[in-house]
Amino acid sequence: MRNRLTLSLLLLFVFQVNAQNRPNVIVILADDIGVGDISEYRRLTSNTIIVETPTIDDLAKNGVFFTDAHSPAALCAPTRYAIMTGNHCYRSYAPRGVWGSYQKSPIVDTDITLGQLMKNVGYDTSFFGKWGFGMDFARKDNPNIIYRGPRHKPELEVDITKVIDKGPLQNGFDYSFMYPAGIQAAPYAVYENGELYPLHKKSKIVQITQKNMDKLGFKLDKMEGLGDSHWNPFKAGELLVNKAVDFINKKRDKDKPFFMYYCTQAVHKPHTPSKELNGIDIAGTTPSNHLDMVKELDIQIEMIVNALKKKEIYQNTLIIFTSDNGGLQIQKTIKSGHKSNSNFRGGKNQAWEGGTKVPFIVHWPEKIKPNTSDKSILGIDIAATLASLTNQKLELNQGMDSSNLLPFLVDKENIEAHPFLINQAGTGNENMIRKDGFKLILKVDKDADFQKNQKLIALFNLNENPSEKETHNLINNPKYKEKISELLSLYNKTRASNIQTGVK
């Protein structure tokens, strides 16, 4: 009996020591931020800096910042599924994204989410901000039936008082403070642990109309719908970041590290900057509301960093910062001289580099030395990297396209994260594959039958033409016929075989 007790105590001690040595982990996913929106990235090509991002810059300077990182898609919903699961967008039942909070979730039982991954090894897991893909709410007229709506008109027959299933709590997160669709779509409400979080003591559920929002001075980005009668996206950022800071401040269990997935509302439309945040004026302090939101994003991260430092856990916290797609092309912002996508062509929703080129920064003072890397990586790679960090082995059908970056980040091993990259654009149904500096863009009719009626759009040699000048589009150049055939064959073979593409 004494030997058994001694062994049990020893195992408990070892677990506690391992838990104490493990870093806290915060993954920050920005919304619609391009590489040119982050001043440290912008300086790689220009000295024209309209809005500084000092906190994010500091993470970049003192960590690893990747100059050839890409989002899985040029739009948010498919990207959010891919980052959460480590799977390419095309593995979802809805490869182009689940566009509605009341739609069926793309996550299936065989997937592993970032929350489940970290919870498996004892992390205290939390989700903050925009969920961005479907979940289950009940019908108003029958709580036993899950609501599925048409999405072509305001959806009013849904009970938005609580999430029934497929939200953060059902996907491995112990705590959540969640905006189902960010600030841009219904339900216009906030949820704490799956329950409607009243924004005011007099809050009630109403239909949020444009007429209501005219009184607050902004235009709805999407359709009218149900929400909290005190819905005000000008206050969304402050509420969100303060909840995240509170979570850090209340951490008492030093033997249990935490994982936070922080999906900020910045900088998606409607551009509704806080009047001030952390004592700093924001609204009206830059050339556009869009750039006000870029400034707000940096201040939100500053507040999180300051909370970590105050708690004396900053040194042993791994922070990953990236974006769900490339930056926005807002005329007022462009006129100011700011380039959200730096010198890259296009932006959000497009197949050009500006649509998927995103900042990707990894910061861990105790383990990672400052470095700039031109390795080609994807946001999908977060899953396998965290699995390696926590000594977990993903199943063959989990995180299928996620590559482990930890050997490079910590030990400086000269790994090749991806022999080739596959990602996709947006509503134009374009897909992209790149290998050895060459990028092929093709258009498909339907993802379910992606080899039917394929149309070749462009071939670019990014080594010589990083800005994808159309005058250097090689798609009709006979000299590159074999290269086009090689890339197209590799793309089709990869998709058709359902082969794993990540390097673990």
- Structural domain span for residue 149: 24-421
| Full DSSP string of 347-390 | -TTSSSHHHHB--EEEE-TTT---EEEEEEEEGGGHHHHHHHHT
> What are 423-459's pLDDT values in tens digits?
999 999 999 999 999 999 999 999 989 999 999 999 9
Q: Is the pLDDT of residue 16 over 70?
A: no
Mean pLDDT of the region 26-46: 97
Partners of 199 in the β-ladder: none
Of 421, 447, 475, which residue sits at a domain end?
A: 421
Mean pLDDT of the region 106-120: 97
Q: Phi then psi for 200, rounded to 5 degrees?
A: -160, 155
Tokens 């849904």 -> residue: 158
Q: Is the pLDDT of residue 227 over 80?
A: yes
**Band of residue 255 on the pLDDT scale cut at 50, 70, 90:** confident
**Band of residue 20 on the pLDDT scale cut at 50, 70, 90:** low
**Number of structural domains, the chain?**
2
Q: What is the mean pLDDT of the chain?
A: 94
Tabulate helix, strand, coil % of the chain (nearest 5). 30, 20, 50
Answer yes or no: do 121 and 51 share one domain.
yes
Q: Report which of 292, 200, 310, 191 is spatially closest to residue 246, judged by C-alpha positions.
A: 310
Domain assignment of residue 311, yes or no = yes
Answer yes or no: do 394 and 439 share one domain.
no
Domain assignment of residue 350, yes or no = yes
Answer yes or no: do 194 and 240 share one domain.
yes
pLDDT given for residue 18 in this prediction: 52
**Band of residue 415 on the pLDDT scale cut at 50, 70, 90:** confident
> What are 428-438's pLDDT values in tens digits?
999 999 999 99
Q: Is the pLDDT of residue 253 over 50?
A: yes
Q: Give the C-alpha distances (Å, rounded to integers) separating 24 from 42, 85, 248, 323, 365.
A: 29, 20, 10, 20, 12
Of 396, 421, 446, which residue sits at a domain end?
A: 421
Answer yes or no: do 326 and 473 share one domain.
no
Answer yes or no: do 376 and 456 share one domain.
no
pLDDT given for residue 6 in this prediction: 41
How far apart (Å, rounded) are the C-alpha atoms in residues 375 and 67? 7
**Band of residue 252 on the pLDDT scale cut at 50, 70, 90:** confident
Mean pLDDT of the region 471-498: 97
Q: Is the pLDDT of residue 143 over 90?
A: yes
Partners of 434 in the β-ladder: 421, 439
Answer yes or no: do 354 and 443 share one domain.
no
Burial of 374 (0-12, 13-18, 19+ CB in 10 A): exposed
Taking residue 170's Cβ as centre, other Cβ atoms within 10 Å add up to 18
Answer yes or no: do 140 and 239 share one domain.
yes
Domain assignment of residue 35, yes or no = yes
Of 421, 440, 475, which residue sits at a domain end?
A: 421
pLDDT given for residue 147 in this prediction: 98
Answer yes or no: do 401 and 478 share one domain.
no
Q: Is the pLDDT of residue 479 over 80?
A: yes
**Band of residue 49 on the pLDDT scale cut at 50, 70, 90:** very high
Answer yes or no: do 300 and 442 share one domain.
no
> What are 208-226's pLDDT values in tens digits?
999 999 999 999 999 999 9
Mean pLDDT of the region 42-60: 97
* CA-based torsion, 464, 465, 471, 472: positive or negative: positive
**Band of residue 10 on the pLDDT scale cut at 50, 70, 90:** very low
Tokens 């396209």 -> residue: 401
Domain assignment of residue 11, yes or no = no
Tokens 């400086």 -> residue: 412
Question: CATH number for the domain including 119?
Answer: 3.40.720.10
pLDDT given for residue 412 in this prediction: 84
Please state whether 197 falls in left (phi above 0), alpha (psi between -120 and 50) or beta.
beta
Domain assignment of residue 10, yes or no = no
How far apart (Å, rounded) are the C-alpha atoms in residues 236 and 273? 9
Q: What interhelical angle do 54-61 and 289-310 show, nearest 10?
A: 60
- The pTM score is 0.95
Tell me if the bond preceding 270 is cis, omega within 30° of 0. yes
Answer yes or no: do 68 and 40 share one domain.
yes
